[in-house]
């Protein structure tokens, strides 16, 4: 089995073939980071019938190549950059560094050190993770806009506005405001911009929730429940208080199989409130 280590960069990738039995370099190739380059790499690798791939940082710069190789039926593992750095320092030549050495270090780590994990084809769970990250970003941006809006309204109105403010209510409040100076007119214009931003975020959050619910139901995310379920009390045993008298959470009973409770995409998206109040508390 030949191990092919890959050192990925933004515009080029370097691959080095390493014989695990002798830890010897069997050849190297540099390709462009393109589909044509990927095909060139695979043609070069086919001189070894039995082969596997070790891609450095397969969740980063090496992500696209790693997924392309998996789709082509190749066996791929992900090697962390920190692991290749350790392998390079422990090898002959010490701290020497170039693309070919880095690629060989990735293969060496996968073959000898075991600091690698298999790379699998992406599933709807990855789609859910991307949508959830987008939801988090939109929610944070919305919260920032809400806090800025409340700050401006406190400067335009005595005491500001109630925390249960909505985008529609904020529009009504701004419509009734009559600024008395140039600075207040700027504040009102900025407040209108923020209300428009919040409405846009609300729409995007709603679309994001719809996209999450549209994922196929049979690709339900599996979440291991870390707290007792009300209908499974026999699966947990209560722990005594610690030395300071603090109550400890129950733990799974020894010998009891850990169950993965599916939380459907519809359930996950249902927790997203598509029209929450514009409260300046940081919640959105």
DSSP string, 175-196: HT----SHHHHHHHHHHHHHHH
* pTM of the predicted structure, to 2 decimals: 0.63
Q: Are 274 and 206 in contact (CB under 8 A)?
A: yes
Confidence at residue 85, expressed as pLDDT on a 0 to 100 scale:
67
> Please, are residues 259 and 225 in contact by the beta-carbon 8 Å criterion?
yes
From the candidate CATH numbers 3.30.420.10, 3.40.1390.10, 2.120.10.30, 3.30.230.10, the one assigned to the domain spanning 2-118: 3.30.420.10
Question: What's the pLDDT at 205?
Answer: 93
> pLDDT of 109-161, one tens digit each?
666 666 678 888 888 888 888 999 999 999 999 999 999 999 999 999 888 88
Domain boundaries along the sequence of the chain: 2-118, 123-216+267-284, 221-263
Q: Distance between CA atoms of 179 and 129, rounded to whole angstroms?
A: 45
Residues in the chain with pLDDT < 70? 84-115, 217-239, 241-284
- Rounded CA-CA distance 227/180 in Å is 56
Secondary structure letter of residue 161 according to DSSP: -
Which pLDDT does position 271 carry in this prediction?
39
- Whether 204 and 284 have beta carbons less than 8 Å apart is answered as no
Contacts of 237 (CB under 8 A, 6+ apart): 250, 251, 253
Give CA–CA dist 36/53, Å, rounded: 18
């Amino acid at each position: 089995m030949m191990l092919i280590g890959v050192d990925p960069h933004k515009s080029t990738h370097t691959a080095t073939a390493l014989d695990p039995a002798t830890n010897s370099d069997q050849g190297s190739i540099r390709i462009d980071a393109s589909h044509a380059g990927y095909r060139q790499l695979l043609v070069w690798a086919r001189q070894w019938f039995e082969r596997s791939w070790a891609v450095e940082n397969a969740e980063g710069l090496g992500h696209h190549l790693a997924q392309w190789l998996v789709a082509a039926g190749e066996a791929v593992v992900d090697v962390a950059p920190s692991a290749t750095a350790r392998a390079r320092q422990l090898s002959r030549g010490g701290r020497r560094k170039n693309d070919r050495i880095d690629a060989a270090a990735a293969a060496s780590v996968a073959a000898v050190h075991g600091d690698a994990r298999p790379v699998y084809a992406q599933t709807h769970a990855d789609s859910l993770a991307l949508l959830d990250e987008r939801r988090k970003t939109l929610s944070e941006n919305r919260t920032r806009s809400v806090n800025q809006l409340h700050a401006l309204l406190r400067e335009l109105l005595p005491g500001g506005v109630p925390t249960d403010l909505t985008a529609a209510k904020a529009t009504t409040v701004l419509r009734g405001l009559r600024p008395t100076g140039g600075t207040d007119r700027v504040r009102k214009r900025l407040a209108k911009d923020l209300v428009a931003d919040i409405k846009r975020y609300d729409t995007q959050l709603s679309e994001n929730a719809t996209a999450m619910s549209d994922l196929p139901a049979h690709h339900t995310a599996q979440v291991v429940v870390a707290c007792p379920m009300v209908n499974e009390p026999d699966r947990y045993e209560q722990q005594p208080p610690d030395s300071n008298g603090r109550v400890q959470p129950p733990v799974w009973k020894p010998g009891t199989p850990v169950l993965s409770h599916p939380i459907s995409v519809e359930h996950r998206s249902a927790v997203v409130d598509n029209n929450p109040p514009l409260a300046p508390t940081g919640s959105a």
